[in-house]
Amino acid sequence: MGTCWILLALLSSVAWGQARRFEVVSAKASERVVGPDYNNQLVLSEAGMKATNATLRRLVAEAYRVQLNQIIGPNWIDQNEYDIEAKAGRVVDKRDLFLMLRTLLADRFGLKQHGETRNLRVFELVVDRGGPGIQPANGTEERRMEGGFHFRGDMRELADLIALQLNIPAPIDPSQPAIAAGPPTPVLDKTNLAATYDFRVDLKPELGVDGLTIWQRLLPEQLGLRLNAGRGDVAVIVVDSASRVPTAN
DSSP 30-77: -SS---TTT--EEEEETTEEEEEEEEHHHHHHHHTT--GGGEE--GGG
What pLDDT does residue 159 have?
A: 92
Sign of the alpha-carbon dihedral angle for 127, 131, 134, 135:
positive
Rounded CA separation 181/50 (Å): 26
Rounded CA separation 212/224 (Å): 16
What pLDDT does residue 228 have?
A: 95
Angle of the 211-218 helix axis to the 155-165 helix axis, nearest 10: 140
The stretches in the chain having pLDDT less than 50 are 1-18, 142-143, 145
Report angle CA 165, 98, 232 to the nearest 5 degrees: 50
Rounded alpha-carbon distances, angstroms, from residue 45 to 48, 115, 163: 5, 27, 23
Rounded CA separation 140/202 (Å): 20
Angle of the 56-63 helix axis to the 94-109 helix axis, nearest 10: 140
**Contact indicator for 63, 102 with CB cutoff of 8 Å:** yes
Report angle CA 197, 184, 53 to the nearest 5 degrees: 80
Listed residue (198, 168, 162) closest to 180, CA to CA: 168
* Cα 121 off chain centre by: 19
pTM of the model: 0.69
What pLDDT does residue 127 have?
A: 97
